[in-house]
Amino acid sequence: MKEEQSKEKVKKFGMVIDLDKCTGCGACMVACMAENNVPFKEDESKKLDSITWLRIYKLTNGKSFPDADICYLPRPCQHCGGKGDHGHSPCVSVCPATATDYNKETGIVSQIYTRCFGCRYCMAACPYHARYFNWWDPVWPDGMEKYLSPNVSVRMRGVVEKCSFCFHRYQLAMDKAYYEGRREIEETEYQTACTQSCPANAIAFGDLNNSGHAVYELKKDKNAFRLLERLQTNPKVYYLSSREWVRRAGDNYLKDEKK
Amino acid sequence: MSTPDDKTKGVSAETGGEEAVASFKGVDEKEQGEGPGGFIVLFFIIGFVASLIIGWVIFPKLLYSQKRQPVDFNHVLHVETVDNGCESCHIFREDGSYAGVPKLAQCADCHQEVQGDSPQEKIFVEEYVAKEKEVPWLVYSKQPDCVFFSHTVHVKLAGMDCVTCHGPIGESTSLKPYEENRLTGYSRDIWGKSMTGIKKNSWDRMKMDDCAECHEKETGRKSSVQTDKDACFVCHK
């Protein structure tokens, strides 16, 4: 059994988001919240309080009318592999509770809510603001408990949560594969909720190590970039844009600094 | 018991007639010096034994409430009549999920009417089948919300027996009482019966360490960066 498992190929799930296609409609944010039992507040405009595993940012090029341009940038957890892809992502390195972990077989950064004690070091460490703290217990409107997904555990007050790349969908897909006597799943069997909900098809999701998956080629595109690449966090979320200013906005450059 | 020293004290303090009284006083003082030490030891032992009894016998009894199952199911009787062992009733669905405790419809396939002379079957048919009410079974192995457990991977892929985790429940003629932890609401089968934490059988306990222990031994996977064991997102969700 040990040998059999070591033969399994190491996967590295990742995402490629085409920013030229994204219209900023927010369908991915809604799908994500519904899929992952993300609690919502009475006043969602209080951004210190609200939780969005996937958030859309609006970028502007800062120019006036004829040259003005905007871009919407959806930001899930980047599932950083850390320098050299050894799994030492910023949040995993600082967690004193072993509540967040990097899985070398899937490349996914996990968050175990029952293990977390809410120190929020990971939130300070994360350069992408991908982590959120539950300042309150979730309050569901009457009867809504029945609509919660049983595949994702609900969080309580005092813990940190973040995007899991819909890992429960991987678990369920693997279950089906095992039942049918397979050890591997197809690309289409494991897709995140945001990917499937995007009406513009801007999000592609798959195994970055698997040449059969769409993301394998997409990430090699000449317009592909990652956020804050100079920090060497080695994220698994790639962005595509044909616009130079958008690509440049992916990192912090000084005004007259050459890329 | 009076010592020469006591006597001299008494004599020096009082006249001869009162010597006996004085020396008696002296004895009294001496005994008080020894006595409390003995009492402390005695009280310590009594207290120690009492707290042991409270902690190891009375508290566990108070912590768990005993509940009876709505119908006393006889596994032996059913295993004899079905062809496919446990999987005859505890089925896998086609999407790889596991049905667990059968629903009423599945039982009603055979138990539309009372078949035998068991009073438990009569209760089952009259109270539940006739009224089309699901039986509120108490699940001994119910895990917390944050746990993802796949029967498919353990049974179909790893080829484990049901007995390894569930024990010889198939050989039972009656369902044991469900002991519910009053604080957490979980069954005692999760924490285990033994107060000392000694595990005799693989099914004695179903805590995270028990899962992790077997995973380490059987899979040998070290995919977690934090623990160098199997990753968290294998059993958690």
Mean of the per-residue pLDDT values of chain B: 85
Count CA within 13 A, CB hemisphere, residue A26. Answer: 5
Distance (Å) from the alpha carbon of A190 to chain B's nearest alpha carbon: 14
Q: What is the pLDDT of residue A4?
A: 45
Write out pLDDT tens, residues B7-35.
444 444 444 444 444 445 544 444 555 56
Residues 6+ apart with CB under 8 A from B41: none
Query: In chain B, where do the E strands start and end?
Result: 64-67, 178-181
Write out pLDDT tens, residues B53-95.
999 889 988 999 999 999 999 999 999 999 989 999 999 999 9
Q: Which residue of B has its CA nearest to A166?
A: B237
Write out pLDDT tens, residues A160-180.
999 999 999 999 999 999 999
Q: In Å, what is the CA distance from B224 to each residue of A106, A125, A250, B43, B186?
A: 10, 20, 30, 51, 28
**Assessment of whether the complete model's pTM goes beyond 0.80:** yes
| Cβ neighbours, 10 Å, residue B2 | 17
Distance CA A192, CA A200 (A): 15
Distance CA A92, CA A62 (A): 36
User: Residue length, chain B?
Assistant: 237
Distance (Å) from the alpha carbon of A99 to chain B's nearest alpha carbon: 9
- Name every chain B residue with its beta carbon within 8 A of the beta carbon of A87: 225
Q: Do A1 and B227 touch (CB under 8 A)?
A: no
ipTM (interface pTM): 0.84
The reply to whether CATH 3.30.70.20 applies to domain A2-249 is yes
Is the pLDDT reported for residue B44 higher than 50?
A: yes
Residues 6+ apart with CB under 8 A from A107: A11, A12, A13, A14, A79, A81, A85, A208, A236
Q: What is the pLDDT of residue B61?
A: 87
